[in-house]
């Protein structure tokens, strides 16, 4: 049995950087080739053994629920045709995972979104995937790599990567001391610091493993950067009280919340697609 079974997907955000594409469609449904971002995320969670999927959604996000459900009309239409192969992956996901949803009614930050998911998680450790960070793991999926670190140290783990100094203001940034190759004990973390306030250029990307005490910590966390309840601030409290690890993952991340990252991801997957199908 995998130790962590649940993975939470905060997916209530508006995706304003992709307007007007995201006006009536969730940003998580934007496709990289023929697969929506959210499906890449769910496949990553599955690879880490997390098949109990929780999503924090909001208004206008129903396409997410429909995507992870059977479409009888479509099944009927393509049954027995050569097009069935296009549904093979999503059928497998629907067969192997369970999906639960709750809605965040107000946008009060990532910490608040994760707290909204408490009802889906309960009192067990869980993974968190921000689907607009699309990760391609080196061998093992990034969340699966993190689950290994969790299994060893049993504390919250955040994924990090080095970013240029002029980009630190877009991320949560950590300071820490290296415990083993690529694993840091966090001594400080700051949400979206100005370059001169940044404790390093090690930026948190959208992958977390959180211990369930995080919910009480978030409840006690006042609004931080941009007046929002930040998961980075709650993790900083956990780091002081207990221990939080930052893990420099092996693989590549595409910031699909930005047009540049989105296009880069498409190019990456298209190269791969050409090698396999072309």
Where on the chain is the footprint of ligand G1P (CB under 6 A)?
A: 110, 130, 133, 171-172, 191, 203-206, 230, 232
CB nearer to ligand G1P: pick between 125 and 172: 172
3-state helix, strand, coil in the chain (%, to 5): 40, 25, 30
Of 90 and 126, which has the nearer Cβ to ligand G1P?
126
Across 103-124, b (16+ Cβ under 10 Å) vs e yields ebeeebbbbbbbbbbbebbeee
Give the residue carrying structure tokens 């639960």: 100
Cβ 166 to ligand G1P shortest distance, Å:
15
Map residue 190 onto helix, strand or coil. Answer: strand
Residue 155 CB neighbour total at 10 angstroms: 19
Q: DSSP 3-state assignment of 119?
A: helix
Please give the residue whose beta carbon sits closest to ligand G1P in the complex.
172
Q: Are strands 183-191 and 172-180 parallel, antiparallel or unpaired?
A: antiparallel
Distance CA 200, CA 196 (A): 10
Q: What does the radius of gyration of the chain's CA atoms come to, in whole angstroms?
A: 18
- For residues 134 and 183, give the distance between their C-alpha atoms in angstroms, rounded to a whole number: 21
Shortest distance in whole angstroms from residue 266 CB to ligand G1P:
19
Whichever of 167 and 216 has its CB closer to ligand G1P, that residue is 167
Q: Which is nearer to ligand G1P, 130 or 144 (CB)?
A: 130
Q: Residue 132 CB, nearest distance to ligand G1P (Å)?
A: 7
CB of 214 vs ligand G1P, minimal distance in Å = 14
**Residue located via tokens 């694993």:** 183
Min dist CB 23 to ligand G1P, Å, is 20
Whole-number minimum distance, CB 230 to ligand G1P, in Å?
A: 6
**Based on CB atoms, which residue is closest to ligand G1P, 93 or 109?**
109
Distance in Å, CB of 168 to ligand G1P, minimum:
10
* Alpha carbon distance 207, 138 (integer Å): 15
Nearest residue (CB) to ligand G1P, 69 versus 260: 260
Separation of alpha carbons 196 and 206, rounded Å: 23
């Amino acid at each position: 049995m995998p130790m962590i079974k649940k993975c939470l997907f905060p997916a209530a955000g508006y995706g304003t950087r992709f307007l007007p594409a995201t006006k009536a469609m969730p940003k998580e449904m934007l496709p990289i080739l023929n697969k929506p971002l959210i499906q890449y995320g769910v496949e990553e969670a599955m690879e880490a053994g997390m098949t109990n999927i929780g999503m924090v959604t909001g208004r206008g996000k129903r396409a997410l629920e429909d995507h992870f459900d059977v479409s009888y009309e479509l099944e009927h239409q393509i049954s027995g045709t050569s097009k069935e192969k296009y549904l093979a992956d999503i059928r497998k996901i629907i067969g192997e995972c369970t999906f639960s949803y709750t809605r965040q009614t107000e946008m009060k930050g990532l910490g608040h979104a994760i707290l909204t998911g408490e009802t889906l998680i309960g009192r067990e450790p869980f993974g968190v995937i921000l689907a607009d960070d699309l990760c391609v793991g080196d061998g093992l999926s990034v969340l699966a790599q993190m689950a290994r670190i969790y299994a060893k140290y049993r504390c919250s783990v955040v994924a990090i990567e080095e970013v240029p100094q002029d980009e630190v203001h877009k991320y949560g940034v950590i300071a820490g001391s290296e415990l083993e190759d690529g694993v840091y004990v966090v001594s400080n973390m700051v949400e979206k610091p100005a370059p001169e306030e940044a404790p390093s250029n090690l930026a948190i990307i959208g992958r977390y493993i959180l211990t369930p005490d995080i919910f009480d910590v978030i409840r006690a966390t006042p609004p931080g950067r941009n007046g929002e309840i930040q998961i980075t601030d709650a993790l900083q409290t956990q780091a002081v009280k207990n221990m939080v690890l930052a893990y420099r993952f092996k693989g590549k991340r595409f910031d699909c919340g930005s047009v540049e990252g989105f296009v880069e991801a498409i190019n990456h997957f298209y190269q791969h697609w050409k090698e396999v199908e072309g």
